[in-house]
Structure formats: C-alpha cells, structure tokens
Amino acid sequence: MYEEGHGVVQNPYWAATLYSRACNSDDPGGCGKLGAAYAEGLGVNQDFSRAKELYSKACDGGDYDGCSNLDDVLRKEHEDEQ
C-alpha cells in the first residue's frame, strides 16, 4: 500500500522498511519486493548487488517473482559483460 499509495500517502521509504521486516522474518515475497526497491532505488539507495542478493533469497524461498527478477538481473549482467 505504501509503495503505490493505495489508501495511504505514498511512502517508498516506509514500504522498503516494511519489506525489510518481512524479509528478515523469512517472507520470500518481502525479500523480492525489497530487492525490487533496491533495483529501482525506491525508498533506499539503488544497489544492484543487494537487489541480486535479495532476489536470490526470495527465489530460494519459492517466490516466483524473485526468481524471474533474479534471472533478469543475471541476464543484464551477462549482456553488459559482452
């Protein structure tokens, strides 16, 4: 809700804080959402390495979006290397 401002004032920083709490409680979806925040720099400083770590944790926990996003990041890294 805070990420997109549904029913509350939009606050990406607070959304990232809540995603972090969820991830720290072993919620794969929270890790995936936090990874996306780091990838986009929404509510946190942009950090692709951290995003990749969080996507990996999300994927390991069974979060499909985390796996998909991890794949996207790895493909982009591979393309940038060539």
| Strand ranges, E, within the chain | none
Q: How far is CA 49 from the centre of its chain?
A: 11
Picking from 7, 10, 9, the residue whose alpha carbon sits closest to that of residue 43 is: 10
- Structural domain contains residue 2: no
Q: Which domain holds residue 51?
A: 12-77
Entry pTM? 0.88
Identify the CATH number of the domain in which residue 59 sits: 1.25.40.10
29 lies in a domain?
yes
Interatomic CA distance for residues 70 and 20, integer angstroms: 18
| pLDDT tens digit sequence for 65-76 | 999 999 999 988
Asked if the structure places residue 6 within a domain, the reply is no
Domain assignment present for 73? yes
Helix, strand, coil distribution of the chain in percent, nearest 5: 70, 0, 30
Domain count, the chain: 1
Q: What does the pLDDT average to over 52-57?
A: 97
